[in-house]
């Protein structure tokens, strides 16, 4: 579920990536559940901030709602195509549960 905590987690992880100078970071959102467009805009804003600081971070927008967000917030982003997707070297999954964890009692 996309929320403010997840956006902050993404931004912190992306800023902290070291040893990837000149690398392209692709943010694949196809399985990401969303509540509203404001959260989508927040993630696009984090990507935009990384791009403004000179890092090549791109939103892989395959669905209509994400394409609208891409067009509105990241129109200058170079495209993400199948060749770039197939060149992915590492995957980082940033996720958390929207439900509190249940502890098993013994």
Q: What is the pLDDT of residues 20-70, one digit of tens each?
A: 777 888 888 888 878 888 989 999 999 999 999 888 899 999 889 999 999
Query: What's the confidence (pLDDT) of residue 18?
Result: 62
Report the candidate in 45, 35, 38, 62 with the shortest Cα–Cα distance to residue 10.
45
Contact 43, 29 (CB under 8 A): yes
Query: What's the confidence (pLDDT) of residue 90?
Result: 73
Query: What's the confidence (pLDDT) of residue 77?
Result: 92
- What's the chain's average pLDDT? 82
Give CA–CA dist 21/50, Å, rounded: 13
Give CA–CA dist 5/29, Å, rounded: 16
| pTM, 2 dp | 0.77
- Give the pLDDT mean for 71-87: 90
Query: What's the confidence (pLDDT) of residue 98?
Result: 56
In which band, very low, low, confident or very high, does the pLDDT at 7 lie, cut at 50, 70 and 90? confident
Determine the 3-state secondary structure of 105 from DSSP.
coil
Please write down the long-range contacts of 14-21, taking CB distance under 8 Å and 24 or more positions apart.
14/46, 14/50, 14/55, 14/57, 15/50
Give CA–CA dist 98/47, Å, rounded: 23
Contact 57, 27 (CB under 8 A): yes
């Amino acid at each position: 579920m996309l929320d403010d905590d997840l956006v902050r987690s993404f931004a912190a992880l992306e800023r902290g990536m070291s040893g990837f100078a000149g690398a392209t970071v692709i943010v694949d959102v196809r399985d990401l559940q969303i509540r509203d467009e404001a959260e989508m805009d927040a993630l696009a804003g984090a990507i935009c901030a990384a791009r403004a600081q000179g890092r090549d971070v791109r939103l892989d927008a395959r669905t209509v709602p994400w394409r609208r967000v891409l067009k509105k917030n990241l129109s200058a982003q170079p495209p993400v195509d199948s060749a770039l997707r197939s060149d992915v070297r590492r995957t980082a999954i940033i996720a958390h549960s929207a439900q509190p964890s249940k502890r098993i009692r013994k």
